[in-house]
């Protein structure tokens, strides 16, 4: 595997020092992560296409761009990857072409399925899609040995419009899936949060997929406001500081759910993923050191999955973590870099949701408020 990186910053394109010259690379895949108003510009896509005319170009808007051990806003980070022994296939679809998010996920997986499919990377719209339903669709016909990772595009902290594109300028409502084929590619994954739970556990008594109405037969929004205290006037943005931990059925592993919007008239809260009736939830709050330590843990586990020889690491972290950590956000990127060292190319972005299994050979899950890392290495 060979790769190179470009950075569009302060209105100019910059080639990353010590990387392979773009003219010496023949990539099959290019990942471009950037600010909404930049990846939505035809001139940005056309520039990338001119440099890598034969590559599949996947682009997404972000809530912040990751490059090496650095964190940026209002830029575009481009990573071009040439696989030496691995075949890839890219497919995309429009949310409006399907009846629901589940059908989107099922459609994408069915398009990629083959006997030698090893892994799937999903880059999805983050505004229209129901992330939980999307991953359920992806899991529907997925062979157990195929891992699925990825994330939902971001839009800074605006939550207005997210953009994704495949071989065209990024647009809203798009979802892209990349299939990796053959036995020569090793792909690792890991996802950690680092949040502390507090308050008593409550039961979801009324919900509709990702819209929550009642906890313990009381208004969920009113209960939530009681806990927020002085942060209540800053809703829905302040909700990113206090996500919910959710335990579904008999599952002993907790997921994290972030609030996207609130509806005062209906006394409801809309989350990035589903909260089924009967599931159990607790509020969570930030522990700065544990959030940063979670990045270290995710990097170690994802590195071990590829025999400690990651050639490329894709970091997808939640916008909520960025809003909590603020000026310390770069520390979680640096923590991952410290594990990977200089031999691993690092790219990524801040998202509206992360996709990853908890363990090898298990279904993928939608996560919020985590650092999720996917590692890539080709056999020598």
Give the count of alpha carbons within 13 A of 114, CB side only: 16
Nearest-angstrom CA–CA distance, 152 and 61: 9
Give the count of alpha carbons within 13 A of 7, CB side only: 20
Candidates 18, 4, 61, 10; CA nearest to 349 is: 61
- Check residue 252 and give its pLDDT: 66
Bridge partners of 36, per DSSP, are none
Nearest-angstrom CA–CA distance, 348 and 27: 18
Each residue's pLDDT expressed in tens, for the chain with a length of 380 residues: 999 999 999 999 999 877 788 888 999 999 999 999 999 999 999 999 999 999 999 999 999 999 999 999 999 999 999 999 999 999 999 999 999 999 999 999 999 999 999 999 999 999 889 999 999 999 999 999 999 999 999 999 888 899 999 999 999 999 999 999 999 999 999 999 999 998 899 999 999 999 999 999 999 999 888 888 888 888 877 777 888 999 987 776 788 888 878 899 999 999 888 999 999 999 998 889 999 999 999 999 999 999 999 999 999 999 989 989 999 999 999 999 999 999 999 999 999 999 999 877 678 999 989 999 999 999 87
Question: Sheet holding 87-94: strands in order across?
Answer: 87-94, 174-181, 117-124, 147-152, 353-357, 364-367
Residue 116, burial from CB neighbour count under 10 angstroms (0-12, 13-18, 19+): exposed
**C-beta atoms surrounding 327 within 10 Å:** 6
Candidates 185, 153, 186; CA nearest to 61 is: 153
Pairing of strands 87-94, 56-61: unpaired
Nearest-angstrom CA–CA distance, 51 and 78: 11
Nearest-angstrom CA–CA distance, 76 and 66: 10
Nearest-angstrom CA–CA distance, 238 and 208: 23
Nearest-angstrom CA–CA distance, 180 and 183: 10
Distance from chain centroid for Cα 207: 25
**C-beta atoms surrounding 265 within 10 Å:** 5
**DSSP state at residue 240:** G
What string of DSSP letters covers 351-362?
A: ESEEEEESSTTS
- Check residue 380 and give its pLDDT: 72
342 contacts 375 by C-beta, under 8 angstroms: no
Per 3-state DSSP, what percentage of the chain is helix, strand, and coil (rounded to 5)? Answer: 25, 40, 35
- Check residue 47 and give its pLDDT: 97
Query: How many helices (H) and strands (E) would you count in the chain?
Result: 8, 26
């Amino acid at each position: 595997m060979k790769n190179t990186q470009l950075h569009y910053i302060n209105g100019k394109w910059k080639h990353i020092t010590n990387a392979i010259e773009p003219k010496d690379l023949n990539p099959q895949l290019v990942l471009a992560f950037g600010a909404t108003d930049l990846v939505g510009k035809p001139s940005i896509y056309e520039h990338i296409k001119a440099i890598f005319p034969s590559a599949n170009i996947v682009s997404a808007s972000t809530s912040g761009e990751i490059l090496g051990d650095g964190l940026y806003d209002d830029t575009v980070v481009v990573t071009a990857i040439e696989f030496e022994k691995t075949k890839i296939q890219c497919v995309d679809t429009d949310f409006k072409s399907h009846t629901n998010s589940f059908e989107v996920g099922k459609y994408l997986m069915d398009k990629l399925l083959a006997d030698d499919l090893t892994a799937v990377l999903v880059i999805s719209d983050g505004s229209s899609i129901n992330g939980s339903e999307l991953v359920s669709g992806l899991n529907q016909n997925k062979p157990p040995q195929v891992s699925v990772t990825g994330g939902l595009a971001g839009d800074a902290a605006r939550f207005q419009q997210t953009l994704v594109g495949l071989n065209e300028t990024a647009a809203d409502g798009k979802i892209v899936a990349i299939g990796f084929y053959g036995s020569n590619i090793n792909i690792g994954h890991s996802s950690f949060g680092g949040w502390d739970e507090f308050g008593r556990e409550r039961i979801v008594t009324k919900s509709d997929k990702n819209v929550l109405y009642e906890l313990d037969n009381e208004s969920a929004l009113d209960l939530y406001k009681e806990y927020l205290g002085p942060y209540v006037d800053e809703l829905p943005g302040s909700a990113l500081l206090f996500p919910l931990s959710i335990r579904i059925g008999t599952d002993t592993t907790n997921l994290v759910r972030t609030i996207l919007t609130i509806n005062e008239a209906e006394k409801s809260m809309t989350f990035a993923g589903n909260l089924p009736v009967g599931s159990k939830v607790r509020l969570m709050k930030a522990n700065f050191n544990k959030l940063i330590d979670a990045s270290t843990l995710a990097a170690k586990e994802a590195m071990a999955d590829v025999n400690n020889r990651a050639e490329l690491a894709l970091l997808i972290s939640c916008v909520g973590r960025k809003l909590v950590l603020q000026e310390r956000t770069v520390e979680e990127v640096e923590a991952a870099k410290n594990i990977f060292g200089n031999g691993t190319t690092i790219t990524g972005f801040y998202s509206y949701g992360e996709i990853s299994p908890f363990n090898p050979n298990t279904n993928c899950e939608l996560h919020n408020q985590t650092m999720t890392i996917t590692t890539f290495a080709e056999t020598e």
